[in-house]
């Protein structure tokens, strides 16, 4: 059974998709700890309801190194084998990324490598997609490296961009895809079916 640690900064809907998949047996694993840098967010409540360790670790007033050391202690103490960034809005330093090399993944609300990098988060991503005139968008799960959104892509799931879409309506459609793709990739990892250096899996429009 894969021991999963999740880092989240918000409401935790992507986290919930993993919790549900673990509970249903879709994923042969369990979320053992959830860490957030924002106090009182929905992700921590979801973790507590699931009976996982829910930990708030404030990043304010301390160095990045000190903050990341606290996170690493929680992950290691829980015996985490896979770290999932599910709406976690902080970047990590080289030391942290190297410590969990090939064992840390992130979900991004666009079809990487398009619309990734600094500033590309939340509605900013969807505004950029709509401004481009692209006919499709989607989400990607990738390994985390030092480069923002630059790690190898494991899988992408496409959604259509529809006439009259706003950033908010497109975001909602992409979020639905995230809730399908993220637990799917975690399941593949638990089953040993994906690995760094493998070809990215492109799934058709949902």
Could you tell me how many residues make up the chain? 206
Please report, for residues 58, 67, 70, 123, the alpha-carbon distance to residue 176 in angstroms, rounded to integers and kept in the order given.
29, 32, 32, 15
Q: Helix H segments across 62-196?
A: 64-77, 94-99, 123-132, 167-190
**In what order do the strands lie in the sheet containing 29-36?**
53-56, 29-36, 2-7, 82-85, 104-108, 136-143, 153-160, 201-203
pLDDT value of position 148: 87
Q: What pTM did the predictor assign? A: 0.94
C-alpha span between 135 and 115 (Å, rounded): 14
pLDDT value of position 118: 85
- Give me the CATH code for the 106-206 domain, please: 3.40.50.170
CATH number assigned to the domain with residue range 1-100, chosen from the 4 options 3.20.20.110, 3.40.50.880, 3.40.50.170, 1.10.3470.10 = 3.40.50.170
DSSP state of 80: -
Active site residue 108: yes
Residue 14 in contact with residue 178, Cβ under 8 Å? yes
Question: What number of helices (H) and strands (E) belong to the chain?
Answer: 6, 8
Indicate where the chain has its CATH 3.40.50.170 domain(s): 1-100, 106-206
Q: 153: part of which helix (H) or strand (E)?
A: strand 153-160
Q: How far apart are the first and last CA of the chain?
A: 29
C-alpha span between 135 and 14 (Å, rounded): 25
123-132 and 167-190 are packed helices; what angle lies between their axes, rounded to 10 degrees?
110
Catalytic residue among 108, 126, 142, 179: 108
Residue closest to 126 by CA, chosen among 86, 90, 173, 163: 173
Residue 146 in contact with residue 111, Cβ under 8 Å? no
Burial of 102 (0-12, 13-18, 19+ CB in 10 A): middle
pLDDT value of position 19: 98
pLDDT tens digit at each of 206 positions of the chain? 999 999 999 999 999 999 999 999 999 999 999 999 999 999 999 999 999 999 999 999 999 999 999 999 999 999 999 999 999 988 899 999 999 999 999 999 999 999 998 889 899 999 999 999 999 999 999 999 988 889 999 999 999 999 999 999 999 999 999 999 999 999 999 999 998 888 999 998 76
pLDDT value of position 195: 82
Helix/strand/coil for 11 = coil
Residue closest to 59 by CA, chosen among 28, 92, 86, 87: 92
């Amino acid at each position: 059974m894969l021991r999963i640690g999740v880092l989240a900064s918000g409401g935790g809907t992507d986290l919930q998709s993993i919790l549900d998949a673990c509970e249903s047996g879709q994923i042969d694993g369990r979320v053992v700890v959830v860490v957030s840098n924002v106090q009182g967010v929905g992700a921590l409540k979801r973790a507590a309801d699931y009976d996982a360790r829910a930990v708030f670790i404030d990043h304010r007033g301390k160095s990045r190194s000190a903050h990341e050391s606290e996170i690493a202690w929680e992950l290691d103490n829980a015996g985490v084998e896979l770290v999932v960034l599910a709406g976690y809005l902080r970047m990590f330093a080289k030391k942290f990324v190297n410590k969990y090399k090939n064992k840390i993944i992130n979900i991004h609300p666009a079809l990487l490598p398009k619309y990734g990098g600094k500033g590309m988060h939340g509605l900013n991503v969807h505004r950029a997609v709509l401004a481009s005139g692209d006919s499709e968008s989607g989400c990607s799960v990738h390994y985390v490296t030092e480069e923002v959104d630059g790690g190898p892509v494991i899988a992408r799931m496409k959604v259509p961009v529809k006439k009259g879409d706003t950033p908010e309506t497109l975001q909602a459609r992409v979020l639905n895809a995230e809730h399908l793709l993220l637990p799917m990739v975690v399941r593949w990892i638990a089953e040993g079916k994906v690995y760094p250096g493998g070809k990215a899996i492109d799934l058709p429009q949902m």
